[in-house]
Structure 1
């Protein structure tokens, strides 16, 4: 066999075997679905919002997953009906681009969060999401100080009610110009606020694209991370062998820090059976 032909043939054969192995592994994982619950699992509702919420909550109960992310107060009664915890509440923010780094939004944001924080606590929930907003030409240091000035006005209320305000980290590919786009900026904001009731929502997908070195970031900055989101890179799809991150190692690193919060699946499923894809994701994160 000529070398060129051999390499081409071998490559095709290897790809076929790899694809078959990946499919077999995924099928094996979903067939024997049983969670250890060393990790508190959750899932972002918006990724599966083509499934009626009540049907989706019934499925989560069947899977033994007792939490869901990014549901606002208008639908909390449905969560209560199915005994599903809201592990990350929303509804106080203005938008991703209009956030705490711009003083012109402070009055509205302070009003929104002042009203929402007691509602979150009364419902028995803990985490409430927030966003930095876009730069729009603003210096990062100025934006950080603006965030401190605004957030400082709601932190006493959050502390009083036991609510944790969590700012999400985004990448510049999906969210161009967003200010809180790296761990160091977010950690510096946490340090300036100096409250255990302010944390970062560390989105693994976003930070792999933006800065990489995911496990080192978790090990170095975990005291400032209050919540985690998952998704495959590239594409924000399943966290299986079709993408570049090895989630079992990442989740082990999170677990090794003593983290007791939630890890929420936030991938957009491409499988025909979306629930099977979700089960596969949970199993890969169930160390």
Structure 2
């Protein structure tokens, strides 16, 4: 897949638009059967080499999910990232971890965030529904968004709105041992208008909430585009970060020598901070064999 075929934004939107509806799975038997298998405990694969637990975002591969799990497990990956509720059991039954779950399937998932109080009721309802399912299935992380800018809501108001809304759900997340991960995205190339487009903004929201169960999803690709200085920024803000995504800059392809970041050095810096979460690869393979690209990314981030 090349940038001329699909933009990174379209790639994730395609996943949001074509994967099965999570809402229909909230009461589905396959999920409950999987939950019984794990007995409500976290599921994780046998640790791979190195100090970091690595995962792969589901939308980056066209392979059927069972095949994807089998091949990732053989490569040493610990889990699969960005999955809907009705997909969790397939991954868990394969022996891998669901490293990030979606609370809902919506075309406007990225744009509709906690920066606008008009969204709070729906977002909180989605999270209140999904968090207990995550606890039962052993899924530790659930994603949510800051949202797109709205007229009359400047950064200060947006920050306060995010703190107010997320503070309402933080105790419930803590009660269920689930971490809500709010993603930082670039507003320059892929997500024009997104308000959570700087580490400073995200860190201020995290400080305002003050909960270990609400963290930042620091997407290295997006933050390199917006602000650079990745390693120092990660070191200065690691206490607010609960999850990482990777991607080559520019183009969001492989994280090898074809792009501008030294991901091996970044991975080492993250590991040196005693980071215990996951680093999930989220890039569109440009090479002829996607799994060769996934294997190379795994090797690059093995430190």
Query: Aligned match of 1:46 in 59, 82, 91?
Result: 59
Maintained 8 Å contact 1:100/1:150: yes
Residue 156 of structure 2 corresponds to which residue in structure 1?
A: 141
2:178 is equivalent to residue 129 of structure 1:
no
Maintained 8 Å contact 1:102/1:146: yes
Superposition TM-score, scaled by structure 2 size: 0.81
Unaligned runs of 5+ in 2: 1-47
Q: After TM superposition, give the deviation of residue 93 of structure 1 in Å.
A: 7.0
Structure 1 segments (4+ residues) deviating >3 Å? none
In structure 2, relative to structure 1, the CA distance for the partners of 1:211 and 1:93 (3 Å cut) is: farther
What SS is found at the alignment partner of 2:239? Answer: helix
Residue 28 of structure 1 corresponds to which residue in structure 2?
A: none
Query: Aligned match of 1:83 in 91, 95, 99?
Result: 95
2:263 is equivalent to residue 240 of structure 1:
no
Partner Cα separation in structure 1 for residue 70 and residue 221 of structure 2: 27
Q: In terms of mean alpha carbon deviation, does 246-255 or 56-65 score higher?
A: 56-65
2:298 is equivalent to residue 282 of structure 1:
yes
Q: After TM superposition, give the deviation of residue 136 of structure 1 in Å.
A: 2.1
Residue 120 of structure 1 corresponds to which residue in structure 2?
A: 134
Deviations 1:187-225 (A, max 9, x none): 000000010111000000000000000001011011111
Equivalent residue runs for 1:232-271 within 5 Å: 232-271=248-287
Partner Cα separation in structure 1 for residue 105 and residue 123 of structure 2: 7
Partner Cα separation in structure 1 for residue 173 and residue 95 of structure 2: 24
2:169 is equivalent to residue 158 of structure 1:
no
How many corresponding residue pairs?
A: 253
Residue 194 of structure 2 corresponds to which residue in structure 1?
A: 178
Maintained 8 Å contact 1:42/1:65: yes
Query: Aligned match of 2:232 in 202, 206, 216?
Result: 216
What SS is found at the alignment partner of 1:200? Answer: strand
Partner Cα separation in structure 1 for residue 181 and residue 260 of structure 2: 27
Maintained 8 Å contact 1:93/1:130: no
2:118 is equivalent to residue 104 of structure 1:
yes
Q: In terms of mean alpha carbon deviation, does 210-219 or 142-151 score higher?
A: 142-151
Equivalent residue runs for 1:6-45 within 5 Å: 36-45=49-58
Q: After TM superposition, give the deviation of residue 92 of structure 1 in Å.
A: 3.5
Q: After TM superposition, give the deviation of residue 81 of structure 1 in Å.
A: 2.0
> Cα RMSD over matched residues?
1.3
Q: After TM superposition, give the deviation of residue 269 of structure 1 in Å.
A: 0.2
Residue 15 of structure 1 corresponds to which residue in structure 2?
A: none
Partner Cα separation in structure 1 for residue 233 and residue 160 of structure 2: 23
Maintained 8 Å contact 1:134/1:177: yes
Unaligned runs of 5+ in 1: 1-34
Maintained 8 Å contact 2:57/2:282: yes
Partner Cα separation in structure 2 for residue 255 and residue 37 of structure 1: 9
